[in-house]
Amino acid sequence: MFNRELPNMYKKEVRDINIKETNKLLETCKSIGINIDYKNFKVDFDKEYGGNVIHKEIKKDIGNKKFFDNDKAWESTSVFYRECMCNYRNVFFVDKSEAYPSIQECVDFIKTAGGLVFVAHPLIYGNNSIEILEMLTQNYEIDGVECYYTSFTKEQRQFLLQHCKENNLYVSGGSDYHGANSPTRKLGIVEGNLNVPDSIIEQWAEI
| pTM, 2 dp | 0.77
Does domain 116-205 fall under CATH 3.20.20.140? My reply is yes
pLDDT digits (tens, 9 = 90+) for 121-139: 999 887 788 988 999 999 9
Higher pLDDT, 174 or 181: 174
Helices (H), 33-148: 50-58, 71-75, 77-79, 103-112, 129-139
CATH 3.20.20.140 in the chain is located at 116-205
* pLDDT tens readout for residues 182-194: 777 777 777 777 7
**45 alpha-carbon distance from chain centroid:** 20
Q: How many CB atoms lie within 10 A of CB 31?
A: 9
Indicate the SS3 state at residue 146.
Answer: strand
Cα–Cα distances (Å) from 61 to 36, 73, 77, 83, in that order, read 7, 15, 15, 20
